[in-house]
A and B are shown apart, each in its own frame.
Chain A
């Protein structure tokens, strides 16, 4: 694993491919986060809300995306993490998580999670801070 200090602009952290999203993933996240909005776990409730079926919690995807940075915890921590939720994540979707260094001085990364069709479902930035 390359150290953050050695990364050049345009270089990526180790990409992660998630297994297909399962209902159990979303039930587990509901329990762990306390977000029991039924559009994430119960089909009928999702359909009543005008959705094609249950969708993942946006925060589940955002939580997953942050793990690209966990292996670097001895070098720095996530100081700023901002995302926009751009699209729905449905059951069986296969997400790819990416982080590309955008600015070496501020240690800013462009991050996104995109689905099997190449569409970004969340997009944003992470600013890492070296430990003092």
Chain B
């Protein structure tokens, strides 16, 4: 039912790697390493600044993919894949967008399952890739029926 969305993408949104947000995120995943939060540790590191944990891109705004209307409830997160060219640096701006990479349906034990692959990108202001994030979302038959209703 979402086949038509394949290839659709959002308009990039400017995000900042905010110091406070990184601190809060590092605390929430129980990683109190000073490379994320202590300014001196950041300055003395090879990066010259603090960096963000690898799963931090969760907090970014990736814009809206046209015509992709997913329910807030009932989705199952199946897989998550990050790729980095380098770590994210605290204080930098990142331009983020998302696209529907694939959508397919398969018969499973609990009916016909749908698999939606969304890929997200983070680029620096010069357009160089910093990271990608791929997510596989599983949509059960029951949830799809509600979406069509």
Listed in ascending order, the chain A residues whose CB lies under 8 Å from chain B are 18, 25, 28-29, 31-35, 37, 39, 49, 58-60, 62-64, 66-67, 70-71, 73-74, 77-85, 129, 131
* Beta-carbon contact of B55 and A58 below 8 Å: no
Q: Flag B66-84 by CB within 8 Å of A: 1 or 0 each.
A: 0000001110111111111
- Chain B contributes a number of interface residues (CB within 8 A of A) equal to 33
Contacts of B27 in A (CB 8 A): 28, 32
* Beta-carbon contact of B25 and A78 below 8 Å: no
Contacts of B126 in A (CB 8 A): none
* Beta-carbon contact of A73 and B45 below 8 Å: yes
Q: Which of B24, B36, B54 is the one whose CB lies under 8 Å from A81?
A: B54
* Beta-carbon contact of A74 and B45 below 8 Å: yes
Bound CA span A60–B58, Å:
10
* Beta-carbon contact of A67 and B31 below 8 Å: yes
Interface residues of B in 32-87 (CB under 8 A from A): 33, 35-36, 45-46, 51, 53-55, 58-59, 72-74, 76-84, 86-87
Shortest Cβ distance from B86 into A: residue: A77
Q: Does B149 contact A (CB under 8 A)?
A: no
Q: Give 18 new A-B contacts, CB below 8 A, not counting A33-B58, A33-B59, A64-B29.
A: A28-B27, A28-B28, A32-B24, A37-B72, A39-B73, A59-B80, A60-B28, A62-B55, A64-B30, A66-B31, A73-B51, A73-B87, A78-B84, A79-B83, A84-B78, A85-B76, A85-B77, A85-B80
Contacts of A85 in B (CB 8 A): 76-80
Contacts of B28 in A (CB 8 A): 25, 28-29, 31-33, 60, 63
Contacts of B74 in A (CB 8 A): 49
Contacts of A66 in B (CB 8 A): 29, 31, 53-55
Bound CA span A42–B26, Å:
23
Closest CB in chain B relative to A85 CB, distance in Å: 6
* Beta-carbon contact of B79 and A78 below 8 Å: no
